[in-house]
Structure 1
Amino acid sequence: MQSIPVDTARLGVLRCAIAPEAKLSNHETQEVKRDREGNPVYTVAVTVRQDGRRISVIEIAVSGVPKGIEEGQIVRVTGLTAFVWSMGERHGVSFRAEAITPVPAAPAQGKGGGA
């Protein structure tokens, strides 16, 4: 599987579309997938807005529970890598990140309020 580093600075605004969910390795038993170190793997759906109105949604896998991520929130994705895969007639691209963290909201700028 070929891995491709992704420059997130070129992706525009990244926003959480679906809050973190545990990635299942077995849907029948509800067993959660684990990475090589034994940490649970979570998936976060993120919208990518690159140019004007065009928006794409990508699902990003990350080890451990991403803390403080809520739907609609702007997020920072660290160490994003794309993996090109194929299985028989099926093929696609999957994404994995080192971390997904919330971007703190900018404080509201009050109008007036001066002395």
Structure 2
Amino acid sequence: MAKLQKWHISMEQAITIALSGARPVSDIETGELKSINGMPVHTVSIALIRDDNPTTIDVRVIGEVPSLTAGTPVEVVGLTLTPWEINGRHGISFQADAIRPVSPPRAPRVSTGEGV
């Protein structure tokens, strides 16, 4: 089997928003939940926007993922892309070291001039 080549994807200047919470990944053949080195494998659907070009990707994460809901701005750490081919089918898989919620910036306080 040929060695798969991974490409690291820069997340600079990218806006990332969770479209789903983390979903556990099951083995296609056995139906059992996947784990790697005892760590669970999850998938999170992400909206990735860069240079006004939006796309949707499913990202696998090994380990626990914080609770996420659709619409949560997230930080995607260590995103890689790996092309694959199995039995004449091919595609691209995405994996990240971590996906974490990002606190939205606080709105500036506006003074009404009353009770100052």
With the length of structure 1 as denominator, give the TM-score of the two structures: 0.86
Separation of aligned partners in 1, 2:112 and 2:59: 43
Amino acid at match of 1:16: A
Where does the alignment leave 5 or more consecutive residues of structure 1 unmatched? none
Q: State the match for 1:59 in structure 2.
A: 58
Asked if the contact 1:82/1:93 (under 8 Å) is kept, the reply is yes
Q: State the match for 2:35 in structure 1.
A: 34
Q: State the match for 2:23 in structure 1.
A: 21
Count of matched residue positions in the alignment of Structure 1 and Structure 2:
111
Deviation beyond 3 Å, 4+ runs, structure 1: none
Where does the alignment leave 5 or more consecutive residues of structure 2 unmatched? none
More strand by share: 1
Q: State the match for 1:84 in structure 2.
A: 83
Amino acid at match of 1:33: K
With the length of structure 2 as denominator, give the TM-score of the two structures: 0.86
Superposed displacement of residue 64, structure 1: 1.8
- Aligned pairs (5 A) from 1:75-114: 75-113=74-112
Superposed displacement of residue 113, structure 1: 4.6
Separation of aligned partners in 2, 1:18 and 1:71: 5
Separation of aligned partners in 2, 1:31 and 1:82: 25
Q: Which of the pair has more CA radius of gyration? A: 2
Residues 7 and 31 (structure 1), Cα distance of their counterparts in 2 relative to 1, 3 Å cut? same
Separation of aligned partners in 1, 2:62 and 2:92: 18
